[in-house]
Amino acid sequence: MPSARERVRAELTAEIIDAARRQLAEVGAAALSLRAVAREVGMVSSAVYRYFPSRDELLTRLIIDGYDDLGAAAEAADVPSAPSAERWMAVCRAVRSWALAHPHEYALLYGSPVPGYQAPKDTVPTASRVGVVLGAILGDAARSGALPDGTGERDAGLVSDDAVAVLGGEHPALDETVRMRALLAWSALFGTISFELFGHFVGSVEDADRYFDRVMGDLARLIGF
């Protein structure tokens, strides 16, 4: 059982993070300030620095939490026993729903880079969680015979070994064409959400729900589901 000091620290850490999320909504990530967060939680700046020594460390925590929350939503939406196309659509819809419900956190993850901030390697595993879910769908489809026959060939230097591992691993049905289409679909998922969330579809798309489903369905067929 955590000690009283540990419980207090956990509670204050949560308060600081909640205040930082409100700052994101009000001023954006670039203007996030530890001093402003400290004022909101009723602490002196020096006290907040004991929890987060710099603005960048607080940003990193917000980014990791955001990726974890988004990844959890994608994982919860996937039903491994369902057909591949249904799994793909369910995960894509879950990612979009999370983004629409958390626009400021999504903007932190996929919007404009924060000037002067460089995300550390700590963020990579959490940033990959959605891709791992989509890659599992691709790999399961290959191993169950749900993808067209392929050559299994690699185009050296085009797709990294790490990406191959995420995108279903090695299998004859997973050749470089399928992997490239999967990467295209992965990036198009977030590109479509970003265009909607940041207002770039205004005047072009009238029914965002139907448009999203049509695009994701077309991408599923492109992959071979």
pLDDT band (50, 70, 90) for residue 76: very high
What is this structure's pTM? Answer: 0.91
Taking only the tens place, the pLDDT of each residue in 178-210 is 999 999 999 999 999 999 999 999 999 999 999
Report yes or no: 29 and 59 within 8 Å, Cβ to Cβ: yes
CA distances from 206 to 196, 209, 210, 212, 215 (A): 11, 9, 9, 11, 14
The 10s digit of each residue's pLDDT in 102-116 is 999 999 999 989 999
Report the C-alpha gap between 53 and 6 in whole angstroms: 18
CB atoms within 10 A of CB 161: 8
55-223 CATH pick, 3.90.1300.10, 1.10.600.10, 3.40.640.10, 1.10.357.10: 1.10.357.10
User: Using 50, 70 and 90 to split pLDDT, how confident is the model at 7?
Assistant: confident
Mean pLDDT in the chain?
93
Question: Which stretch of DSSP H or E encloses residue 217?
Answer: helix 208-223
Of the pLDDT bands very low, low, confident and very high (cuts 50, 70, 90), residue 152 is: confident
Specify the CATH number for 1-53; select among 3.30.1340, 1.20.120, 1.10.10, 1.10.890.
1.10.10
Percentage of residues in the chain having pLDDT higher than 90:
76
Q: Which of 160, 151, 168 is nearest to 124 (CA)?
A: 160
CB atoms within 10 A of CB 121: 6
Count other Cβ atoms within 10 Å, centred on residue 225. 20
Domains in the chain: boundaries: 1-53, 55-223
CA angle, 54 then 99 then 209, to 5°: 165
In terms of C-beta density within 10 A (0-12 exposed, 13-18 middle, 19 or more buried), how is residue 190 classed? middle
If you average pLDDT over residues 65-93, what whole number do you get?
97
DSSP code of residue 29: G
pLDDT at 153: 79
The angle formed by the CA atoms of residues 91, 93 and 96, to the nearest 5 degrees, is 110
User: Is residue 154 very low, low, confident or very high in pLDDT (cuts 50, 70, 90)?
Assistant: confident
Tell me what pLDDT residue 102 has: 96
Residue 216 predicted with pLDDT over 90: yes
pLDDT tens figures, 17-61 = 999 999 999 999 999 989 999 998 898 888 888 899 999 999 999
Q: Do domains 1-53 and 55-223 have the same CATH topology?
A: no
Assess contact for 173 and 140: CB atoms under 8 A. Answer: no
From CA 44, how far away is CA 170, in angstroms rounded?
54
Residue 147 has pLDDT above 80, yes or no: yes
pLDDT at 104: 94
Range with lowest mean pLDDT among 25-34, 71-80, 150-159, 163-172? 150-159
